[in-house]
Structure 1
């Protein structure tokens, strides 16, 4: 609960600071002021700023996991302690053809009470697409780290069933996009629930990130391709029922494909067991003390006790060469009262 409060407050502070810094830089460069009081950079830079303000949630979540949760930051990504890049790549490749088909069908639907879209031209679409390819995956991943990562783990820490942890984040995810239409809100709730279940089922955020990133790339790419498309304030919550039906079909097809892929190439679903530490001495064997030569002025090592002569107990002074006997003293027998060795367990 402390970590959730930290994520919310820190994210708000970072967002305000980022917007303030951007506004100062924009005003210094002479950009005009928008009706809402912000600096008007234009469609592409303004969209980039909006995406960046969402993407900064990733370091905020990682910091909360490491500092508040007191565990490796990568454990919010997957059970292996980090993003499984190979599995993420497979999920992206799975989402591309599925969402390409559903998006193409959406484009064929007749538009109601909307003017015909006009091609924006490559001089606008090219830079916009380059910006989207870089920032949209970060924006999509940030939302997954917050909802399917942090919130799912934070709620799941108190419950046994994963469904009780999946349901709250799905509703909060939909609410974060606005209320819009009932169809659009329900679509977002279903997406959040499916993404949360895939996260639990596959042991990480990769499946959810792949679906989210590819979906948003198609959506933003279509908006950038038409005149004033990036200026629209509509979100997925504003979608009509026809688009919702196609979107749910794409989510279902992607889920089936990922589950089939997970059976063919199963990813890790549980955290690796800690490496056992071997005992200092094998069971059934006594410790054999190493020879010890006392050095004047230095303490006797731990576990070895010196007698009045300054030598470890259980040893005798070696005979000097003048005594005519160079035979070393016998080693004390195991189990004697003056032996420093460890008793057998």
Structure 2
């Protein structure tokens, strides 16, 4: 029988005020926090570089192919992180730290997941280079200069998404509903829909939603098994470091990548099979992490 204690410990702070109206209002607060943060960020840019330059940067976020636009895009996720922080304090009267689980376990799970995912992805990239040649993007010296800031940006971006989907939303749904079909599946489907982008992905758009929702389901399962968001965050962070900073797919977020793929995101004949391979790869990482971090 699986040990449910880590998950019960993770969810218990949310059981004090589990009403659905609080969660709905909390999600409204999350949306408002993102909007207000974006407005504040734009205001700061106007003060520093002027209105026209600031507008140009914001427009560049729609197609983040430069380092500045990509770093700015990653910075917008601070607003996503602020939403759950405000919601749990204001509506649920619980500690912000309860969103992540026990601190020591969270850090350990994060590091194990980063190392495991990085090792498996590294081997996969070696296989990928046998079939494909990456195209140079950023000059190596510029890439190295930007790397610390880029890593921080990816840490913020992935951490914000984990706080919202595997922290706040999963916890509050689990506090109200006993079925994993609700507290695991609903956040995963919402996470998938967040990545719906037919303009970039073309005919692959719904396939990307499905694969992202599957990734979210794996992250949710790791959270349930371990009782922290550490493993999910580590998997997400390592995945996005590869996808955003090492080899980015053409037509996506490429501004901080060292290399680009020789194919674009909307080339179904190539990216379709690769999406299936990604699902298999993520499943492998999930299996290894589930074994390594079992209670």
- Give the alignment's TM-score, normalised by structure 1: 0.65
Taking a change above 3 Å as real, the CA distance of residues 221 and 157 of structure 1, as seen in their structure-2 partners, is: same
Deviation at 1:163, TM superposition (A): 2.6
- Calculate the TM-score normalised by the size of structure 2: 0.75
Q: 2:225 and 2:111 mapped to 1: Cα distance?
A: 17
User: Is 1:191 the counterpart of 2:215 in the alignment?
Assistant: yes
| In structure 1, distance between residues paired with 2:64 and 2:277 | 34
Describe the shift of the 1:118–1:89 C-alpha distance in structure 2 as closer, same or farther (beyond 3 A): closer
Partner of 1:126: 144
- Distance of 1:15 and 1:214 partners within structure 2: 26
Residue in 2 that maps onto 1:27:
50
- Higher strand residue share: 2
Q: Is the 8 A contact 2:192 2:212 kept in 1?
A: yes
Counterpart among 245, 249, 255 of residue 230 in structure 1: 255
Distance 1:42 1:82, change over 3 A: same
**Greater CA radius of gyration, 1 or 2?**
1
Contact 1:106 1:246 in 2 (8 A): no
Task: Name which of 266, 279, 287 aligns with 1:256.
Answer: 287
Query: How far 1:8 moved relative to its partner?
Result: 1.7
Contact 1:167 1:193 in 2 (8 A): yes
- Higher mean alpha-carbon deviation, 201-210 vs 49-58, is at 49-58
- Alignment of structure 1 residues 175-324 onto 2, 5 Å: 175-179=193-197, 180=201, 181=204, 182-223=206-247, 229-230=254-255, 240-263=271-294, 266=295
Q: 1:194 to 1:45 in 2, by over 3 A?
A: same
- Give how far 1:11 is off: 2.0
State the distance in 2 between where 1:42 and 1:194 align. 29
Q: Tell me how far 1:248 sits from its aligned partner.
A: 1.2
Q: Is the 8 Å Cα contact of residues 184 and 241 (structure 1) preserved in structure 2?
A: no
In structure 1, the residue matched to 2:118 is 96
CA distance in 2, matches of 1:66, 1:105: 47
Alignment root-mean-square deviation, CA: 3.3
